């Protein structure tokens, strides 16, 4: 079982194994689905705008150094 704690501001960190399983990266949105039985499902939200990522069509520019260099544009 994987757990995380809730802060006084109702925030939590998504544990690394969960981030890896959902292939989450910084800036990704998360969807919470509340089931009738009280269970909550956590999923990675699909982007409504596939062109939001300037590197999506330019794989040769898809490096961590490039992401850092262009992060504030």
The region that residue 52 occupies, defined by phi over 0 for left and psi between -120 and 50 for alpha, beta otherwise, is alpha
- Please give the pLDDT value at position 38: 94
User: What's the domain count of the chain?
Assistant: 1
What global pTM score does this model have?
0.59
CA–CA distance, 25 with 65 (Å, rounded to integer):
15
Considering the domain boundaries, does residue 66 fall inside one? Answer: yes
- Please give the pLDDT value at position 22: 93
CA–CA distance, 36 with 26 (Å, rounded to integer):
30
Considering the domain boundaries, does residue 7 fall inside one? Answer: no
Q: Which residues of the chain have pLDDT under 70?
A: 47-59, 61-62
- Please give the pLDDT value at position 32: 94
pLDDT in tens, 44-62: 998 666 556 665 666 676 6
Per the structure, the complete domain to which residue 61 belongs is given by 16-70
Return phi, psi of residue 42, to 5°.
-105, 130
């Amino acid at each position: 079982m994987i757990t995380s704690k809730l802060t006084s501001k109702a925030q939590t960190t998504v544990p690394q194994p969960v981030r890896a399983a959902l292939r989450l990266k910084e800036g990704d949105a998360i969807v919470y689905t509340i089931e009738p039985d009280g269970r909550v499902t956590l999923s990675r939200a699909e982007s409504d705008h596939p062109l939001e990522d300037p590197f999506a069509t330019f794989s040769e520019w898809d490096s961590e150094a490039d992401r850092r260099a262009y992060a504030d544009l």
